[in-house]
């Protein structure tokens, strides 16, 4: 399991959270229980299985919703 | 294409404002209806594009968001050829979200400023002895690092050479620079104001105090209270429900105008954003003032506290006790003091330190069979002698007879507010020492502040004798004082108070009092060695600064009120809007959207007030 912390551009609508949550949850290889979308910090924290999914796929799922990723950090959990 | 449109949202907002102005000029100035309709249609289409894209993305992941409601409403308005409404609603929605983003950034500014203090570079001594600049992530433990004037300390470490003054505001909230010499501990994120120093890296990356504080604050600002989780669940079903309601109204009345107006009026805007905004501004204010609040649940609990229980030593007092009075019984003074010092050397109890300090230079003996008697003292063997050092209870247990004079001395010492250390050799009392601890400067005023803020009971619990505790309580104006308390006794007392319905904050030392800290509704550990304090406390007072306590309490009260105000504003607005739709003529989509956006701005600005919160001087 890898642990990702993804910094997004400032989130301003709370309904963004729901969108991002649902989008990331839909990806294979994600640990759904670990998923946290932080509104004020504008961050996504999630554990994922690096063999099933790459960090780029997660980033892309979020960016496709229209929320640019500023940077992401991955480390082993 | 989608991304392009979204990234030009602000520009689109501006254009649609111009088009709307042009349209109205066309109608009322030039009386040209073609220009009027033309520009408003363009404004509508242009304006709805980014909203519709967001709505589509939301639906793709099965979320009915506000964007969905607004998009349908705008399309409906265009269909019934009400271009005025469609244009103005899209403009207001876009402009509103622009303002939201701007003001939200303000509410988050305090915490952002803090995170921006994170060090990025370090100057490391390489193998050839030269110093080179490297990324802070590349620093390893035990690296030798150079810090120059004006630079940030990159990691937690120990000062090796040089000296200087360091501004530790980033971790203590206190901006008066602290003098640092060889062997001083230095912390990541603090700023060297003068001097040049070399340090050894002790803790790096995520283990540094600074990073842990930031993580804590970041988690805290997004932690959710029960009420918020309820609002979240509620809004998940609320928006689809509004959509269905609009649809039903249309089915039965065939009135598109009415149906789409319901969609706009039903937007949940201020409700979802109100509480997080208060939360982040309150926690941000705290972080800037040396008070870390661990989340909105803590804010709610602390704001309701009516009883604060304090530990005495190290909390209300400086925690640096000194021998104030002394009585010696019998002869052989030198030898007795030597025995006493040798036994006390085994202990790290604050009273033992005071005793050692008082005795000073003496000859030490080999101590055997040391046994610590909990809540009593120490018993040990030196040669053939049995040495007992501790309080009156220990003496009783050891069957030490106290002479009439000794009994009177004990009484007198206690009345003067001393903690007692009695020394008996082979069950015979030899020395009586009275040890006193100074009250922290300023504590009295802080306690008065807490009372003014509505705390009814200020209680001190201590392992010390009742006389000492009473004296402290009297001097500080506490409402209750209990001595002779073991850690279990303290937690039992807290349980009892809680059963009586009191909401309790416990302020004490993080090691001995951990049961009480855990049991109390709010636990606050006073510990200069930050680690324990950060982990065990619900409210962390940076640098164990007691004077932050009133600010912390006042801030949580204001923050909690602020959240309630925001919920009332948000719910009130939706109710008034829906009611006026039913009972009045003037309500329409544009006014509804305007009121909505205004209510969102009102809750954000209301939240922002917390950033400026300061305790009124008593």
Among the candidates B386, B403, B436, a domain finishes at B436
**E strand residue ranges, B136-228:** 144-147, 156-161, 164-167, 178-180, 185-186, 191-194, 197-203
Roughly how many angstroms between the first and final C-alpha of chain B, as a whole number? 60
Residues 57-96 of B with CB under 8 A from A: 57-58, 61-63, 65-67
What is the Cα–Cα distance from B558 to B164, expressed in whole angstroms?
A: 39
Residue of B nearest to A22 (CA): B61
Q: Are A14 and A36 in contact (CB under 8 A)?
A: no
Q: Are B549 and B541 in contact (CB under 8 A)?
A: yes
* B581, part of any domain: no
| Residue whose tokens read 């709505």 | B55
Torsion of CA B297, B303, B304, B310, to 10 degrees: 100
* B306, part of any domain: yes
Active-site residue B464, yes or no?
no
Q: Are B618 and B452 in contact (CB under 8 A)?
A: yes
Residues of B in contact with A10 (CB under 8 A): 101, 104-105, 108
Residues of A in contact with B279 (CB under 8 A): 40
* B264, part of any domain: no
B162 and B31 housed in the same domain: no
B147: domain CATH number is 2.70.150.10
Burial class (CB in 10 A: 0-12, 13-18, 19+), B494: buried
The per-residue pLDDT for B450 is 92
Q: Averaged in consecutive runs of 10 residues, what is the pLDDT profile of chain B (618 residues)?
A: 72 85 77 79 88 85 83 88 86 84 80 81 87 87 89 91 86 78 88 89 86 81 75 79 88 85 80 84 88 86 92 80 86 83 82 85 85 84 89 88 88 84 89 86 90 92 82 88 84 91 86 80 74 75 84 94 92 85 77 87 91 76
B507 and B534 housed in the same domain: yes
Range of the domain at B25: 2-109
Q: Are B146 and B195 in contact (CB under 8 A)?
A: no
The per-residue pLDDT for B459 is 93
What is the Cα–Cα distance from B443 to B316, expressed in whole angstroms?
A: 7
Nearest to B104 among A10, A15, A65 (CB): A10
B312 and B446 housed in the same domain: yes
The per-residue pLDDT for A14 is 63
* B104, part of any domain: yes
Nearest to A12 among B57, B62, B104 (CB): B104
B51 and B17 housed in the same domain: yes
The per-residue pLDDT for B458 is 93
Residues of A in contact with B3 (CB under 8 A): 63, 66
Residue of B nearest to A18 (CA): B63
Burial class (CB in 10 A: 0-12, 13-18, 19+), B273: buried
CB contact under 8 A, B280 and A40: yes
Stronger pLDDT, A28 or A76, i.e. the higher one: A28
CB contact under 8 A, A65 and B65: no
Q: Is the pTM of this model over 0.95?
A: no
Whether residue A13 lies within 8 A of chain B, CB to CB, comes out as yes
Residue of A nearest to B233 (CA): A18
What is the Cα–Cα distance from B217 to B223, expressed in whole angstroms?
A: 10
A45: domain CATH number is 3.30.70.100
Residues 206-235 of B with CB under 8 A from A: 218-219, 221-222, 235
Radius of gyration, CA atoms only, chain B: 33
B87 and B140 housed in the same domain: no
Range of the domain at A16: 2-76
What is the Cα–Cα distance from B204 to B189, expressed in whole angstroms?
A: 12
Q: Are B156 and B143 in contact (CB under 8 A)?
A: no
B443 and B302 housed in the same domain: yes
CB contact under 8 A, A41 and B222: yes
* B540, part of any domain: yes
B354: domain CATH number is 3.40.1110.10
Torsion of CA B541, B547, B549, B552, to 10 degrees: -80
B312 and B450 housed in the same domain: yes
Residues of B in contact with A40 (CB under 8 A): 108, 111, 218, 221-222, 276, 279-280
Residues of B in contact with A18 (CB under 8 A): 58, 63, 65, 236
Closest Cα in chain B, distance from residue A50 (Å): 22
Q: Residue A60 has which token pair?
A: 């892309």
For testing the chain B interface, which of A6, A14, A25, A73 should be mutated: the one with the most B CBs within 10 Å? A14
* B419, part of any domain: yes
Nearest to B218 among A10, A12, A38 (CB): A38
What domain count does chain B have?
4
Nearest to A14 among B62, B101, B272 (CB): B272
The per-residue pLDDT for B33 is 74
Cα dist. B208→B152, B171, B178, B289, B331 in Å? 13, 11, 19, 20, 54
B428 and B450 housed in the same domain: no
Residues B448-503 pLDDT 10s: 999 999 999 999 998 777 878 888 888 888 999 998 887 788 889 999 999 999 99
B392 and B482 housed in the same domain: no
B496 and B356 housed in the same domain: no
Closest Cα in chain A, distance from residue B551 (Å): 23
Catalytic residue among B67, B143, B156, B311: B311
What domain count does chain A have?
1
- Pairs of residues, one from chain A and one from chain B, whose beta carbons lie less than 8 Å apart: 69
Residues A9-53 pLDDT 10s: 888 776 678 888 888 988 888 888 888 888 888 889 899 888 888
Whether residue A76 lies within 8 A of chain B, CB to CB, comes out as no
B430 and B444 housed in the same domain: no
Cα dist. B182→B16, B34, B186, B517 in Å? 64, 81, 10, 35
What is the Cα–Cα distance from B500 to B452, expressed in whole angstroms?
A: 22
B129 and B72 housed in the same domain: no
Nearest to A10 among B67, B105, B236 (CB): B105
B484: domain CATH number is 3.40.50.1000
Among the candidates B203, B222, B238, a domain finishes at B203
């Amino acid at each position: 399991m890898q642990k990702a912390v993804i910094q997004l551009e400032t989130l301003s609508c709370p309904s963004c959270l729901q969108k991002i949550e649902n989008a990331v949850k839909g990806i294979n290889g994600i640990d759904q229980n670990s998923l946290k979308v932080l509104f004020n910090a504008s961050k996504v924290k999630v554990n994922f299985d690096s063999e099933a999914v790459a960090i780029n796929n997660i980033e892309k799922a979020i960016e496709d919703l229209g929320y640019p990723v500023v940077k992401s950090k991955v480390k082993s959990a | 294409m989608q991304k392009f449109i979204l990234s030009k949202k602000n520009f689109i907002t501006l254009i649609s404002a111009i088009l709307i102005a042009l349209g109205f000029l066309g109608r009322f100035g030039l009386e040209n209806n073609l220009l009027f309709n033309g520009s408003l249609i363009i404004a509508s289409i242009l304006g709805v594009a980014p909203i519709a894209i967001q709505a589509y993305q939301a639906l793709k992941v099965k979320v009915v968001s506000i964007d969905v409601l607004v998009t349908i409403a705008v399309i409906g308005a265009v269909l019934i050829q009400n271009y005025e409404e469609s244009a103005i609603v899209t403009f207001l929605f876009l402009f509103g979200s622009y303002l939201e983003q701007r003001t939200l950034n303000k509410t988050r500014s305090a915490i952002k400023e803090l995170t921006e203090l994170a060090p990025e570079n370090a100057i490391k001594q390489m193998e050839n002895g030269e110093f080179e600049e490297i990324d802070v992530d590349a620093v390893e433990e035990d690296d030798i690092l150079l810090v120059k004037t004006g630079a940030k300390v990159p990691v937690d470490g120990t000062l090796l050479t040089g000296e200087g003054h360091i501004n530790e505001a980033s971790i203590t909230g206190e901006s008066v620079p602290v003098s640092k010499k060889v062997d001083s501990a230095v912390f990541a994120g603090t700023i060297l104001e003068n001097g040049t120093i070399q340090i050894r890296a002790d803790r790096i990356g995520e283990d540094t105090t600074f990073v842990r504080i930031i993580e804590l604050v970041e988690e805290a600002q997004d932690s959710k209270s029960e009420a918020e989780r309820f609002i979240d669940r509620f809004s998940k079903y609320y928006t689809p429900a509004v959509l269905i309601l609009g649809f039903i109204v249309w089915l039965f009345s065939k009135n598109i105008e009415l149906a789409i107006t319901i969609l706009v009026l039903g937007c949940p805007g201020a409700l979802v954003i109100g509480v997080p905004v208060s939360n982040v501004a309150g926690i941000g204010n705290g972080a800037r003032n040396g008070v870390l609040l661990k989340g909105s649940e803590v804010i709610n609990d602390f704001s309701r506290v009516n009883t604060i229980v304090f530990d005495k030593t190290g909390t209300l007092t400086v925690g640096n006790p000194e021998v104030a009075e002394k009585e010696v019984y019998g002869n052989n003074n030198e030898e007795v003091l030597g025995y006493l010092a040798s036994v006390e050397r085994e202990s790290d109890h604050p009273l033992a330190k005071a005793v050692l300090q008082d005795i000073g230079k003496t000859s030490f003996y080999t101590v055997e069979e040391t046994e610590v008697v909990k809540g009593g003292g120490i018993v040990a063997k030196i040669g053939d002698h049995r040495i007992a050092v501790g309080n009156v209870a220990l003496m009783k247990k050891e069957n030490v007879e106290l002479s009439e004079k000794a009994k009177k001395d004990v009484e007198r010492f206690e009345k003067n507010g001393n903690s007692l250390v009695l020394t008996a050799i082979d069950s015979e009392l030899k020395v009586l020492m009275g040890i006193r601890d100074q009250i922290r400067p300023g504590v009295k005023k802080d306690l008065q502040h807490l009372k003014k803020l509505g705390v009814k009971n200020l209680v001190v619990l201590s392992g010390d004798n009742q006389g000492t505790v009473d004296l402290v309580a009297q001097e500080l104006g506490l409402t209750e004082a209990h001595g002779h308390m073991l850690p279990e006794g303290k937690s039992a007392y807290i349980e009892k108070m809680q059963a009586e319905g009191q909401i309790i904050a416990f302020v004490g030392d993080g090691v001995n009092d951990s049961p009480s800290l855990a049991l109390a509704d709010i636990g606050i550990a006073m510990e200069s060695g930050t680690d324990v304090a950060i982990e065990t406390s619900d409210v962390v007072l940076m640098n164990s600064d007691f004077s932050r306590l009133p600010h912390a309490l006042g801030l949580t009260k204001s923050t909690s009120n602020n959240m309630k105000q925001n919920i009332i504003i948000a719910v009130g607005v939706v109710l008034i809007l829906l009611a006026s739709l039913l009972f009045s003529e003037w309500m329409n989509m544009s006014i509804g959207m305007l009121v909505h956006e205004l209510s969102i701005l009102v809750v954000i600005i209301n939240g922002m007030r917390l950033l400026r919160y300061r305790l009124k001087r008593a």
